């Protein structure tokens, strides 16, 4: 998975193939298929799950009065600093299922960390979905140069205000 992440971060996901990964880690393609029977889609799904676990760690510790802004800042920084990983998590077709009984635990824990920052109670999941959606939108729009980076802190403050 580390090799897949490295290739994706430097060359994009189109460069991540089973053949390329096998060569990068010094194993044969059949060995990779023993670990990932569905091939590239399963590798991408595993990489994405590792990203959700990493993202959960970043947002789980936010419990101060500025937790919403702190979480938004951490989320946006993660999306910027790990663009290839973020793409696997949110933009590529995925074997990972969201919001279902088949949701992998890493995804669920990441979502639950957002719920915890926002506060439990009626509508907590919906609020977390909207918070997540807003952060994702900002991350993608910033990445694509559609929102000026100079106003990031102003956006973060407004998002925190909207959800406080």
Please give the pLDDT value at position 61: 64
Query: Is residue 43 a contact partner of residue 36, using CB atoms and an 8 Å limit?
Result: yes
Give the CA count within 13 Å in the CB-facing half-sphere of 82: 22
CATH superfamily for domain 46-163: Tetracycline Repressor, domain 2 (1.10.357.10)
Please give the pLDDT value at position 68: 93
Cα–Cα distance, 118 to 128 (Å, whole number): 7
**In 12-104, alpha helices (H):** 18-25, 29-35, 40-60, 67-81, 83-90
Please give the full DSSP string across 107-147, using - where no structure is assigned.
HHHHHHHHHHHH--STTHHHHHHHHHHHHHHHHHHHHTTSS
Tell me: the pLDDT tens digits for 33-52?
999 999 999 999 999 999 99
Domain extent listing, the chain = 46-163
pLDDT at 12 > cutoff 70 = yes
User: Any long-range contacts for 59-63 (C-beta under 8 Å, 24+ apart)?
Assistant: 59/110, 59/113, 59/114, 59/117, 60/113, 60/116, 62/117, 63/117
pTM score: 0.90
Q: Which of 7-16, 53-62, 65-74 has the lowest mean pLDDT?
A: 53-62
């Amino acid at each position: 998975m580390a090799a897949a992440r490295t290739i994706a971060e430097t060359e994009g996901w189109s460069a991540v193939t089973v053949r390329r990964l096998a060569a990068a880690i010094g194993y044969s393609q059949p060995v990779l298929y023993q670990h990932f029977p569905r091939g590239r889609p399963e590798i991408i799904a595993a990489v994405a799950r590792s990203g959700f676990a990493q993202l959960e760690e970043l947002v789980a510790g936010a419990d101060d009065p500025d937790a919403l802004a702190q979480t938004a800042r951490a989320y946006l920084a993660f999306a910027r600093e790990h663009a290839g990983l973020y793409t696997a998590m949110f933009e590529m077709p995925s074997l990972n299922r969201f919001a279902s009984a088949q949701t992998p635990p890493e995804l669920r824990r990441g979502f639950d960390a957002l719920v915890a920052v926002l506060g439990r109670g009626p509508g907590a999941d919906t609020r977390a979905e909207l918070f997540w959606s807003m952060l994702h939108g900002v991350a993608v729009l910033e990445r694509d140069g559609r929102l000026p980076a100079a106003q990031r802190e102003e956006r973060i403050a407004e998002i925190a205000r909207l959800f406080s």
